């Protein structure tokens, strides 16, 4: 049986140092995809925007700047509160999002209890998958 850990978050899309707008988001983790974090942003468009990146990136990004390329994550302060900033880049554009650090950290702790760091590979059941593939 697989476990899903989800949380609704109100993030902020940073438009400039002085201006940001709220963005509803759902952050998710599945024990059958143990290395990945999935975030769905509900913006003013026909379809939500989905991003997937490594859980380890988010775990480290709560404490220090990490990531290269498409996803970078780091802790910061905004209006006196602790936040986690996520810089996302794609061919469609770039976005800087701000999430409440306490909510992200609490959610991450739940994922780490479901699948402790270092045990992700055991969740994938690669032996059964490989045996099934070879039997074809």
Q: What is the DSSP string of 38-75?
A: EEEEE-SSSS-EEEEEEHHHHHHHTTS-B--TTEEEEE
What's the average model confidence in pLDDT over 89-98?
92
The per-residue pLDDT for 128 is 61
Predicted pLDDT of residue 47: 86
The candidate with the shortest Cα–Cα distance to 88, out of 109, 115, 57, is: 57
Sign, Cα dihedral of 65, 35, 4, 94? positive
Contacts of 28 (CB under 8 A, 6+ apart): 4, 5, 6, 7, 37, 38, 39, 40
Write down all domains in the chain, each with its CATH number in brackets.
4-135 (2.30.31.20)
Cα distances from 87 to residues 69, 93, 108, in angstroms, run 9, 11, 19
* pLDDT at residue 131, as a whole number: 62
pTM: 0.84
Angle at 12 between CA 15 and CA 20, to 5 degrees: 35
Work out the average pLDDT over 115-130: 68
41-89: per-residue pLDDT in tens? 987 778 888 999 999 999 999 999 999 889 999 999 988 999 999 999 9
**What percent of the chain has pLDDT above 70?**
90
The arithmetic mean of pLDDT across residues 96-114, rounded, is 96
Q: How far is C-alpha 31 from the chain's CA centre?
A: 14
Asked if residue 23 has pLDDT above 90, the reply is yes
């Amino acid at each position: 049986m697989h476990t899903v850990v989800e949380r609704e978050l109100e993030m902020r899309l940073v438009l400039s140092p002085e201006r940001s707008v709220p963005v509803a988001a759902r952050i998710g983790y599945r024990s059958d995809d143990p290395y990945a974090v999935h975030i769905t942003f509900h913006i003013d468009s026909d379809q939500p925007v989905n991003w997937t990146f490594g859980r380890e990136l988010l775990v480290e990004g709560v404490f220090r700047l990490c990531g290269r390329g498409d996803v970078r994550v780091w802790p910061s302060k905004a209006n006196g509160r602790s936040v986690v900033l996520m810089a996302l880049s794609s061919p469609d554009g770039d976005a800087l999002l701000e999430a409440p650090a306490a909510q992200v950290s609490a959610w991450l702790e739940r994922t780490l209890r479901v699948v402790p760091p270092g045990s992700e590979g055991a969740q994938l059941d690669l032996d059964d998958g490989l045996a099934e593939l070879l039997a074809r």
